[in-house]
Amino acid sequence: MYSFLCALAAAAAAFAAVAIPTRGSYAILPAMVVFGLAYFLLARRHSKAIEGLMQRMTREMEQQRTDNAIRVLQEGYGHARWVFLMRGQLDGQIGSLHFMQKNFDEAQPLLEKAWGKHWVAKGMLSAYWFRKHKPEQAFEVLDKAIAMNKKEPMLYGLKAYLKAKLKDRDAARAALMQGKDVLPKNEAIAANLVRLQNGQDLQMWQFGDAWWNFHLEKPSQKMLMKMAGQANVGAKGGKKAMYRG
């Protein structure tokens, strides 16, 4: 927002500088150029600063220091005032980290303010309201999230899961069919649609490990062992890559 106001002030100054001696002729073009250039430079400067914070946050999360990661992101609020939509992105990211730690009530107001394109934050907000036994609010949030993130299969799976929990398997199938229309080749949607049609429970883990962050299910011991094995393979691969360097 501040970048816009500063750019607008610079454009007004440029307009006046040209308009006064020329009596208004040709003043609009240099004003537009000054506005665009000023906004770009200011927004880019603060966006770069937030990118650096995101990198620090990632390193903290790799060390499983979530509290530190939250504090790092909170440093970005000063920069967010200079860039449109950045505050909502930070709120969504910080709220998601709180939710992952099961600090649900602390996460909720941040998730509410999250940018609509932050589908993880909005999915978590939907899960929050469902856990509070407020399904109408949960689906209102989820439908808006789907409308803004049509290519994200997890959201269709989440809607189907919540509908199935309410014993509405027809609505669950409809949610997956909605996803299939948009993502016809998605294996998780297709496989779970077949399971519903066969009267079986959904297997939400097929949508990816991010599913467990919604805290609607707990992974089985077998699933935990599988996830640990995948993490070990990834770590070994990272070591080999460093040795090659």
Tell me if 82 is assigned to some domain: no
Tell me if 12 is assigned to some domain: yes
Tell me if 69 is assigned to some domain: no
Domain count, the chain: 2
User: 113-153: per-residue pLDDT in tens?
Assistant: 999 999 999 999 999 999 999 999 999 999 999 999 999 99
Within its chain, how far is the Cα of 227 from the centroid? Answer: 23
User: 166-214: per-residue pLDDT in tens?
Assistant: 999 999 999 999 999 999 999 999 999 999 999 999 999 999 989 999 9
Tell me if 134 is assigned to some domain: no
Choose one of 36, 63, 90: the last residue of a domain: 63
Most distant pair of Cα atoms in the chain: their distance: 79
**Both tokens assigned to 33:** 């150029």
Q: Coil, strand, or helix at residue 148?
A: helix
Q: CA-CA distance, 118 to 133, in Å (whole number)? A: 23
Q: CA-CA distance, 187 to 180, in Å (whole number)? A: 10
Choose one of 63, 81, 99: the last residue of a domain: 63
Tell me if 109 is assigned to some domain: no
Tell me if 41 is assigned to some domain: yes
Choose one of 27, 43, 63: the last residue of a domain: 63
Q: Where does residue 189 fall: left (phi above 0), alpha (psi -120 to 50 degrees), or beta otherwise?
A: alpha
Tell me if 168 is assigned to some domain: yes
| CA distances (Å), origin 225, targets 64, 222, 230, 231 | 19, 5, 9, 10
Which domain does 192 fall in, by range? 150-219
How crowded is residue 24: how many other Cβ atoms within 10 Å of its Cβ? 10
User: 97-106: per-residue pLDDT in tens?
Assistant: 999 999 999 9
Tell me if 80 is assigned to some domain: no
Asked if the model's pLDDT at residue 7 lies above 80, the reply is no
Tell if the pTM clears 0.85, that is, is over it: no
**Both tokens assigned to 64:** 């499983």
- B/e letters for 91-130, b = 16+ CB within 10 Å, e = fewer, are bbbbbbbbbbeeebeebbebbebbbeebbbbbbbbbbbbb
Answer for the pair 98, 213: CB distance below 8 angstroms, yes or no. no
